[in-house]
Structure formats: C-alpha cells, structure tokens
C-alpha cells in the first residue's frame, strides 16, 4: 500500500517542482528587458528662427521599430533622436511605457512643419501624448533639447522622409 501511495505522491512532487521551475524561469525572463541597441542614424536638421540645429536620428518606420521606439535605453547622446514615420498621416498618440529617459516629442506634418511640441515626457508614464491632429511623423529628442533650441509650432524639420515643397 505504501508503494502505491508513494509513487503518485512522488510524481506529484516532481510535477509541482517542474511547474515551479518553469514559472520562475518565465518570471525571470519577463523581468529581463529586451535588448534595444542603437541602430543606424540619418542626418536631420531642425530650423528654428532661421538657425539650423543638426541631429543624428534613427528611423522607426516599421511596426516593430515603432512599437519598441526608445524603450529600455538608459541614455542617448544629446545630438541624437528617433523619428517615427507614419504613412499616411494619421492621429497619433505616444506614451513612455518602458522608456527610461525623459523625452521631448515634436509632432510633424508631411512637409516637415512642426505642429506641436510636448516637452519633458516622464519616463514610464502611460499618459497618452498627442496633438489631437493627424501627423506624418514624431521626432523624439532628449528632454530639454526642444526648449534649449527654441522649437515651436511652424518650425521646419529637414529629413529624407519629408516631401520637398517644389512650389507647385
């Protein structure tokens, strides 16, 4: 009789131990943030009050790149950023989930005109940030940069994703 009880109990204990180990492994994996290394950059210029300000930006133009954005990055050089390209222009809201650094966000129309500026978005915040209008792109910079260079609605952003205005 003892042998019959012991075998099922032994299986139960082994199954419980295995389930616990798998759960621990899943938790440990879930807490390890995904890697999000800096990708290739393109030149970008913001023109404020006639003065150009040069940046190096990563382009997020796929759903996967847009979803990841600058999440899990501990820092970013001051002259760097990320530009999100939305085609066609659409209402866009951004958030700071899993973002470790404060950011400024410039909401831009299809010809590179700044529509709205959101300064100093708080790391980790789930608050939705957007201009309430369709935009073609969003440029994320380190917090404080927009104020430092004086970016305001109507300023121009020059980057390869914007259509050239040929005057007609």
The verdict on 78 and 130 lying in the same domain is: yes
- pLDDT of residue 18 exceeding 50, the answer is no
Is residue 55 domain-shared with residue 108, that is, in the same domain? yes
- Is residue 80 helix, strand or coil? strand
Rounded distance, CA 73 to CA 37, Å?
Answer: 8
How many domains does the chain divide into? 2
> Residue 34: CB partners within 8 Å, gap ≥ 6?
68, 71, 72
Provide the domain limits for residue 95. Answer: 42-158
Give yes or no: residues 24 and 48 share one domain: no
Please, which pLDDT band fits residue 35 given cuts at 50, 70 and 90? confident
| Domain annotation covers residue 167 | no
Does some domain include residue 164? no
Same domain, 12 and 46: no
Q: Reply yes or no: is the peptide bond before residue 88 cis, omega within 30 of 0.
A: yes
Same domain, 55 and 94: yes
Residue 6 scores a pLDDT above 50: no
Q: Report whether pLDDT(22) > 90.
A: no
Q: pLDDT tens-digit profile of 113-146? A: 999 999 999 999 999 999 999 999 999 999 999 9
**CATH code where residue 79 lies:** 2.60.120.1140
Check residue 164 and give its pLDDT: 63
């Amino acid at each position: 009789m003892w042998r019959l009880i012991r075998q099922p109990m032994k299986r139960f204990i082994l199954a419980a131990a295995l389930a616990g180990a798998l759960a621990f492994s899943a938790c440990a994996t879930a807490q390890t943030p995904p890697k999000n290394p800096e990708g290739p950059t393109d030149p970008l210029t913001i023109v404020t009050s006639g003065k150009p300000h040069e940046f190096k930006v990563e382009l997020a133009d796929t759903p996967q790149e847009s979803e990841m954005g600058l999440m899990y990055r501990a820092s970013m050089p001051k002259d760097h950023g990320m530009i999100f390209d939305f085609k066609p222009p659409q209402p866009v809201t951004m958030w700071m989930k899993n973002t470790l650094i404060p950011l400024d966000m410039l909401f831009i129309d299809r010809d590179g005109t700044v529509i709205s500026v959101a300064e100093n978005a708080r790391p980790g915040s789930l608050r939705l940030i957007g201009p309430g209008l369709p935009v073609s792109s969003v440029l994320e910079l380190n917090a404080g940069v927009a104020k430092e260079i004086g970016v305001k609605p109507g300023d121009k952003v020059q980057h390869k994703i914007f259509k050239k205005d040929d005057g007609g």
